[in-house]
Amino acid sequence: MAQAVKGTRDLFGNEMKWFQRIEDTARRVCSRHGYEEIRTPILEEIEVFKRSVGESSDIVNKEMYEFMDKGGRHVVMRPENTAGVVRAMIQHKLLVNNDPRLLYYIGPMFRYERMQAGRYRQFWQIGAESFGVASPESEAENLMMLFAFLRELGLKHLNLSINSVGTPECRPAFHKAIREFFQAREERFCEDCHRRIEANPLRVLDCKVPGCQAALAGHPVITDYLDEASRQHHARLKELLTALGIPFEENPRLVRGLDYYTRTAFEVLSSDLGAQSALVGGGRYDGLVKHLGGPEVPAFGWAIGLDRLAILMQQLHGEAPLNPPALLIPLGEAASLKALTLAQDWWDQGLAIQLETRGVNLKKALTSANRQGTRFALILGDSELEKGVVAARNLGAGTQEEWPLEEVPARLRN
Ligand code: AMP
């Protein structure tokens, strides 16, 4: 029997309901901040990621789902969406007049990763990007939106970690210091770090190997090398977050894996997910639009993993809150026509009701309803038809009472 491809999975049932709830919440919160949805193709030319995420990154180095299509184009199933969004902005000349552009996206991403709990080869992200504004105020606004989104999902144990990675101009001095630090204890670092120290020394700080993390004790910190403007920017953001009551901690090791970050880098961790698990990653990437061939436009954004968020929601809240609708069970031919017209009326009023159309007996219908976790069985037999009522059975409580037909919508809404 055929199975889903390794690392991919089907979404249905409780998990799918959480995905829906999360996506609905994201759309609502992002829209009220003035962010518009964008959908870019899953396939992009490989250059889009080589030039943005960077050739020295793990994503580009080992994790890309890439292939030649039938026309001989070297394409990639997108590993993330920021690069695609920027490519679209440039292609459609949406950044030419200096107006801010606020965008969000929801969709599947693909990385050829080793399988672990909560890590998949096809996974989903929600992200928001703000183009055209370089101020710490825009970062605060964007983070407020992120936290409103997480709060509306009922998440509480959240830690915001922030850092400034400065600008390309102030990084060489820091790179020199970290290289010297590295060379003095070279043998304690992993092979990947030896490669990283040449290609992009900042990435050594990102290494997850415990030995490397230990060897990093006392390393030079980027915040000591910031230019004056970056220092002021960072101070202002911290001031704003404090005034807005968004708690944060500074993490000088937080550099994020991508080449295009400038100044602010941040992560949101959830202690409900276990120690190492970042839920959200983001930051400022003022250099990227120009780097991909567009105008010089500052940008700030984040991406959140929907899969982990859904796991977290399930842990915190259990069953998805969208209860299965009531089931209307007609008994007999007359009742089955009446049930169709009644249901039509209730559907038109926006009620969620499922209809038993198999013509099975009551016992069978109730057994299925119980298996599906339906809340109410509304039974419509000859005597109910005559009286203008349904026998409403609360399947959880096992109780039953008569509801006049015209009261059904109000009673279900309660
Ligand atoms: P990144 O784009 O690597 O900064 O990741 C942003 C977020 O996407 C992470 O914090 C995770 O929640 C999620 N994520 C990244 N890779 C995967 C994966 N392979 N499976 C599931 N979620 C992922």
Using alpha carbons, list the distances in angstroms from residue 139 to 97, 143, 236, 282, 283.
21, 6, 10, 10, 8
Please report, as a single letter, which amino acid is at residue 182: F
Q: Comparing C-alpha atoms, which of 106, 58, 10, 55 is closest to residue 305?
A: 106
- pLDDT tens-digit series, residues 145-180: 999 999 999 988 888 999 999 998 888 888 899 889
Name the class of domain 326-413. Answer: alpha beta
CA–CA separation, 236 and 223 (whole Å): 14
Note down pLDDT in tens along the chain; length 414 residues. Answer: 999 999 999 999 889 999 999 999 999 999 999 999 999 999 999 999 988 887 767 788 789 999 999 999 999 999 999 999 999 999 999 998 889 999 999 999 999 988 787 789 999 999 999 999 999 999 999 999 999 999 999 988 888 999 999 998 888 888 899 889 988 988 999 998 888 888 778 778 878 888 998 998 899 998 899 999 999 999 999 999 999 999 999 998 888 756 678 999 999 988 776 655 788 999 999 989 999 999 999 999 999 999 989 988 888 888 766 566 899 999 999 999 999 999 999 999 999 999 999 999 999 999 999 998 899 999 999 999 999 999 999 999 999 999 999 999 999 998
pLDDT, position 323: 62
Q: What is the rounded average pLDDT for all residues in the chain?
A: 91
The architecture (CATH level 2) of 13-170+226-317 comes to 2-Layer Sandwich (3.30)
Strand bridging mode 376-380 / 326-330 = parallel
pLDDT, position 373: 86
Collapsed DSSP state (helix, strand, coil) of residue 127: strand
CA–CA separation, 261 and 272 (whole Å): 28
What is the pTM for the complete model shown?
0.87
Every domain of the chain and the residues it spans: 13-170+226-317, 326-413
Q: How far is the CA of 92 from the centre of ligand 1 (A)?
A: 28
Q: Which two tokens stand for residue 272?
A: 């409900």
Question: Is the Cβ atom of 305 under 6 angstroms away from ligand 1?
Answer: yes
CA–CA separation, 76 and 391 (whole Å): 57
Question: Is the Cβ atom of 125 under 6 angstroms away from ligand 1?
Answer: yes
Residue partners of 176: CB distance under 8 A and separation at least 6:
none
Strand bridging mode 353-355 / 376-380 = unpaired
The preferred substitution site among 64, 80, 85, 119 for testing ligand 1, maximizing ligand atoms within 8 Å of CB, is 119
- pLDDT tens-digit series, residues 316-345: 888 766 566 899 999 999 999 999 999 999
Q: Could you tell me where the DSSP H helices lie in 157-305?
A: 171-183, 191-199, 202-206, 210-215, 228-243, 288-291
pLDDT, position 53: 81
Please answer whether residues 238 and 248 qualify as being in contact, where contact means their C-beta atoms are separated by less than 8 angstroms: yes
Question: Is the Cβ atom of 233 under 6 angstroms away from ligand 1?
Answer: no
CA–CA separation, 198 and 236 (whole Å): 33
Please answer whether residues 158 and 150 qualify as being in contact, where contact means their C-beta atoms are separated by less than 8 angstroms: yes
Which residue has the CA at smallest separation from atom 2 of ligand 1? 80
Q: How far is the CA of 267 from the centre of ligand 1 (A)?
A: 11
String of DSSP letters for 332-386: SHHHHHHHHHHHHHHHHTT--EEE--S---HHHHHHHHHHTT-SEEEEE-HHHHH
